[in-house]
């Protein structure tokens, strides 16, 4: 296999010797094969190297699967490589050149490789010079390696950019064609993939069988190998096809286990009943006094929600529609169906600015049915009391609001996170509407108990899309484009281009002179604020770095610094520049918004507090600084703040991302796409599904290592049918002990958040 020549200190002993030692350790020390520490099998030095990968036992190593294999049968000579192909080549390194930062502040490492007939360049880019120096040292002249990636053309010459690569040490290249595929593992700079492979080869003979949670009949129907055989094929495939078959088998298992959990919870929910709410006179009044006709999409989705609310089975529905498409109106009708039937309805808004806007809009729409505090109560039969409950309320106001909600006097409630406090009592709560659901934690969205729930989002987060694939929630799509909405153009502005940046600020002045308003969005408030405080995407690494490397922190624009710079620019002479961020008091935020809307201060530098709900028809230009620090959902929401009037909008996304990185791909996707659901799907592909059964939504941790909810729809559908049948016939899984044990293990890990959306 790879790395045939090893130094004595890194030597991994023979399979036979270590298997004997490992089994002896199990017998004498009371360990099972799976719980045996790696120190007892591989020795202290090798075991310590695995600790950096959080691998400490035989079981950990057994389930550290290769993420790809080098497809030896498809290796091609360099002379056969064509532009745009995904290729895997074996070549010798004949030179390397590392150039430190230029122009855009990015260093480049060019490695020249050859196979004896032709040579091409392999390029790596990074902002961190030391990162590339590590790669240069790791690719010495004369070494042979496998390179896998997509070919591109630069100035007429083919090259590979940021390919995966694996050194072959002194292995004889001509013999590799007759060997099995090379598994490639996630590794570290000091503990490469080939050493992990050697260690796996040592432990594999120790494991003779593994309990299988998939029913035999299911495996037989889908022609799947046993779990033990699948693990062998993943680590030691005889062919590439075997490796792919093993991955497919593991994807089936993940789908089946997750579907069984959801089926069991659905079975339990059959015993949960909530109040049903029929359509009523209040809803009829509301519809009749609307100054416009509902769209066909609003009518259709409204009918679905109305049926849900009339049922005693709790509604759990996600309403997805583009910004300004009328989601809030649908939610308002749902809330009035509940309120008009004697219940209470809460609309959760992510910011106080948005909560106040919803509050004022609801009062306006209710018209004559709005409760009037200046009139006697006995004269207002059928009137609706709208309550605003936010953190900025004074203590006296808060106590009065709590009393009105607890008595049921306040039936229509607009609230922020403040409603999650323990002293809030809502005795007749029938519906919770969550506006921009990605802004609330999973546990918060479930804190108000079993009730009808309607979630809204212009761009669903990946976790919610994944949940919809698993049929755990109903999803409604509002497809119509908002009537009267002007088109919005989106353009990428490279921050390292002085010409582009200067023209950007000129365009901002032109928009202001033509009566427009300009948003400038940044990721943090001031220079001292950590990235983690300002952006949920601050963990994204754009540089090409090894797993255990460190990325270079870059300078990010901030509200305080940028607002001051813009105010001093000659081009903005006579223009008042305002600042908006989360540390301002509600009164200060309102004043900034009023000045912006009126045109007294037409240029606003802001954090993402203006992300949702802010409606200024005169806003025509948005500039998003350091756009790579934001998720696609945020970018889409931000863009929705412009073009809300009769004039077209322009969104400029500013970043220093370079081609070949995931961050660059995300930015280009945003530039080219206006459809919120398409953006969410792309976000899902780039970030992963998040923790389907837990509370993580960022995509950094996932219960699914093999299953892809975008690609594996048929697998999920089949697993759902089987799991539902299994649970219906055996709710406690008494005849499926291994499956039950697997589920119990997952439930322990996700006890607090299991199955919540």
Among 224-228, 312-316, 404-408, 706-710, the minimum mean pLDDT is found in 706-710
**Predicted confidence (pLDDT) at residue 254 exceeds the cutoff of 80:** yes
- What number is the average pLDDT over the span 376-391? 84
Whole-number pLDDT of residue 504 = 97
Residue 122 pLDDT > 50: yes
Residue 167 is predicted with a pLDDT of 78
DSSP 8-state class, residue 208: -
Average pLDDT on 377-383 reads: 76
List pLDDT tens digits, range 533-565.
333 333 322 333 333 333 344 578 899 999 999
Domain map (residue ranges) of the chain: 1-67+185-208, 74-163, 281-310+326-457, 488-687
pLDDT of 733 higher than 90 = yes
Percentage of the chain lying above the pLDDT 90 cut: 39
Predicted local confidence at residue 530, as pLDDT: 47
Return the minimum-mean-pLDDT range out of 393-402, 440-449, 507-516. Answer: 440-449
Q: Is the predicted pLDDT of residue 382 greater than 90, yes or no?
A: no
What average pLDDT does range 365-371 have in this prediction?
82
pLDDT at 171 over 60: no
Residue (of 187, 130, 148, 195) closest to 547 by Cα position: 187
> Can you tell me the distance from the alpha carbon of 390 to that of 410, in angstroms, rounded to the nearest whole number?
14
Q: What is the mean pLDDT of residues 648-657?
A: 93
The yes-or-no verdict on residue 603 having pLDDT over 90 is yes
**How far, in Å, CA of 745 to CA of 505, rounded?**
56
Residue 474 or residue 214, greater confidence: 214
**Count of C-beta atoms within a 10 Å radius of residue 25:** 19
pLDDT value at position 468? 59
Hey, what are 179's tokens?
A: 């060997």
Examine the pLDDT at 285 and tell me if it is beyond 50. Answer: yes
Reported as a single tens digit per residue, the pLDDT across 399-431 is 999 999 999 999 999 998 888 877 889 999 999
User: Of the given ranges (174-183, 301-310, 356-365), which has the lowest mean pLDDT?
Assistant: 174-183
The pTM of the full predicted model, rounded to 2 decimals, is: 0.67
Across the chain, mean pLDDT equals 81
256 vs 130: which has the higher pLDDT: 256
pLDDT at 657 exceeding the cut of 90? no
Q: Could you report how far apart the first and last alpha carbons of the chain are, in Å?
A: 46
Mean pLDDT along residues 726-730? 94
Q: Are strands 164-167 and 144-154 parallel, antiparallel or unpaired?
A: antiparallel
SS3 of 303-362: the string is: HHHHHHHHCCCCCEEEEEECCCCCHHHHHHHHHHHHHCCCCEEEEECCCHHHHHHHHHHH
Instruction: For 653-719, give the DSSP string.
Output: EEE---TTSHHHHHHHHHHH---HHHHHHHHHHHH----TTSS--SSSS-S-SS--TTT-HHHHHHH
User: How many angstroms separate the CA atoms of 593 and 571, rounded?
Assistant: 23
Residue 628 DSSP one-character state: G
Mean pLDDT of the region 242-249: 95
Looking at residue 290, what is its pLDDT?
84
CATH architecture of the region 281-310+326-457: 3-Layer(aba) Sandwich (3.40)
What percentage of the chain exceeds 70 in pLDDT? 79
Contacts of 80 (CB under 8 A, 6+ apart): none
The residue-averaged pLDDT of 668-696 equals 73
Mean pLDDT, residues 354-378: 81
Closest CA to 332 of 413, 227, 277, 255: 413
- State the pLDDT at residue 549: 33
Average pLDDT over residues 657-676: 85
Task: Indicate the CATH number of 488-687 among 3.40.50.2300, 3.40.50.300, 3.40.50.1010, 3.30.365.10.
Answer: 3.40.50.300
Please give the CATH superfamily to which domain 74-163 belongs: Nucleic acid-binding proteins (2.40.50.140)
Identical fold, 281-310+326-457 and 488-687: yes
- pLDDT at residue 480, rounded to an integer: 74
- What pLDDT band is residue 102 in, cutting at 50, 70 and 90? low
Write the DSSP symbol of residue 188.
B
Range with the poorest average pLDDT among 70-79, 503-512, 705-714, 727-736: 70-79
Q: With bands split at pLDDT 50, 70 and 90, how would you rate the model's confidence at 148? A: confident
Question: How far apart are the C-alpha atoms of 482 and 464, rounded to whole Å?
Answer: 24
More confident residue, 209 or 726: 726
Out of 183-192, 397-406, 641-650, which region has the weakest mean confidence (pLDDT)? 183-192
pLDDT bracket for residue 713 (50, 70, 90): confident
Burial 260-274 (b: 16+ CB within 10 A, else e): bbbbbebeeeeeeeb
pLDDT confidence of residue 95: 92
**Residue 26: pLDDT band by 50, 70, 90 thresholds?**
low
Contact 457, 741 (CB under 8 A): no
Distance CA 557, CA 552 (A): 16
More confident residue, 509 or 357: 509
The pLDDT-based confidence of 532 (bands split at 50, 70, 90) is very low
């Amino acid at each position: 296999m790879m790395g045939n020549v090893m130094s004595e200190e890194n030597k991994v002993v023979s399979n036979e010797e270590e298997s004997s030692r490992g089994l002896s350790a199990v017998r004498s020390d009371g360990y099972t094969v799976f719980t045996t520490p790696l120190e007892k099998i591989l020795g202290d030095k090798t075991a310590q190297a695995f600790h950096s990968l959080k691998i400490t036992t035989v079981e950990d190593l057994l389930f550290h699967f290769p993420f790809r294999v080098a497809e030896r049968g498809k290796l091609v000579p360099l002379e056969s490589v064509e532009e745009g192909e995904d290729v895997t080549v074996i070549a010798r390194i004949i030179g390397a050149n590392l150039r430190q930062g230029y122009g855009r502040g990015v260093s480049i490492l060019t490695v020249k490789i050859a196979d004896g007939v032709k040579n091409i360049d392999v390029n790596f880019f990074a902002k961190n010079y030391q990162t590339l120096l590590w790669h240069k040292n790791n690719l010495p002249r004369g070494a042979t390696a496998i390179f896998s990636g997509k070919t591109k053309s630069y100035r007429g010459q083919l090259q590979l950019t940021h390919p995966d690569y694996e050194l072959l040490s002194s292995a004889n290249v001509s013999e590799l064609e007759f060997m099995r595929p090379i598994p490639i593992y996630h590794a570290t700079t000091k503990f490469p993939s080939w050493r992990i492979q050697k260690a796996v080869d040592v432990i594999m003979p120790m494991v003779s069988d593994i309990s299988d949670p998939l029913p035999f009949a299911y495996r037989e129907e889908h022609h799947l190998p046993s779990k033990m055989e699948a693990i062998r094929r993943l680590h030691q495939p005889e062919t590439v096809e075997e490796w792919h078959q093993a991955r497919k088998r593991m994807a089936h298992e993940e789908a089946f286990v997750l579907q069984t959990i959801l089926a069991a919870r659905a079975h339990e929910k059959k015993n949960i009943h909530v109040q049903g709410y029929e359509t009523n006179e209040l809803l009829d009044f509301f519809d009749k006094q609307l100054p416009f006709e509902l769209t066909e999409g609003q009518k259709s989705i409204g009918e679905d929600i109305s049926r849900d609310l009339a049922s005693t089975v709790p509604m759990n529905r996600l309403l997805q529609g583009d910004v300004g498409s009328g989601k809030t109106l649908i939610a308002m009708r749902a809330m009035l169906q509940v309120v008009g039937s004697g219940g209470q309805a809460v609309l959760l808004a992510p910011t106080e600015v948005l909560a106040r806007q919803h509050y004022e809009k609801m009062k306006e729409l209710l018209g004559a049915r709005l409760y009037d505090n200046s009139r006697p109560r006995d004269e207002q039969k059928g009137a609706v009391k709208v309550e605003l409950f936010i953190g900025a309320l004074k203590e006296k106001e808060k106590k009065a609001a709590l009393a009105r909600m607890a008595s049921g006097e306040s039936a229509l409630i607009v609230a922020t996170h403040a409603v999650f406090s323990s002293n809030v009592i809502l005795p007749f709560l029938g519906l919770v509407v969550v506006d921009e659901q990605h802004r609330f934690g999973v546990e918060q969205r479930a804190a108000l108990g079993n009730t009808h729930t309607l979630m809204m989002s212009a761009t669903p987060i990946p976790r919610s899309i994944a949940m919809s694939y698993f049929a755990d929630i109903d999803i409604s799509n509002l497809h119509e484009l908002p009537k009267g909405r002007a088109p919005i153009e989106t353009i990428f502005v490279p921050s390292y281009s002085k010409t582009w940046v200067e023209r950007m600020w000129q365009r901002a002045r032109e928009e202001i002179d033509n009566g427009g308003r300009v948003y400038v969005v940044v990721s943090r408030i001031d220079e001292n604020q950590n990235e983690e405080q300002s952006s949920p995407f601050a963990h994204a690494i754009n540089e090409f770095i090894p797993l255990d490397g460190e990325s270079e922190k870059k300078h990010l624009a901030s509200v305080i610094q940028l607002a001051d710079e813009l105010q001093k620019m000659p081009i903005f002479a006579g223009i008042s520049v305002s600042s908006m961020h989360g540390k301002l008091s509600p009164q200060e935020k309102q004043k900034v918004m009023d000045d912006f809307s009126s045109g007294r201060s037409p240029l606003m530098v802001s954090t993402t507090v203006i992300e949702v709900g802010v409606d200024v028809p005169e806003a025509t230009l948005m500039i998003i600084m350091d756009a790579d620090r934001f998720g696609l959902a945020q970018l889409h929401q931000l863009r929705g703040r412009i073009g809300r009037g009769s004039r077209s909008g322009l969104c400029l996304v500013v970043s220093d991302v370079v081609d070949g990185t995931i961050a660059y791909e995300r930015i280009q996707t945003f530039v080219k796409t206006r459809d919120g659901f398409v953006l969410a799907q792309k976000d899902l592909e780039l970030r992963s599904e998040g923790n389907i059964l837990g509370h993580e939504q960022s995509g950094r941790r996932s219960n699914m290592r093999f299953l892809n909810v975008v690609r594996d729809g048929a697998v999920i559908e089949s697993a759902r049918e089987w799991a539902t049948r299994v649970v219906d016939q055996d709710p406690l899984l008494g005849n499926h002990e291994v499956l039950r044990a697997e589920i119990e293990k997952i439930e322990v890990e996700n006890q607090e958040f299991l199955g919540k959306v």
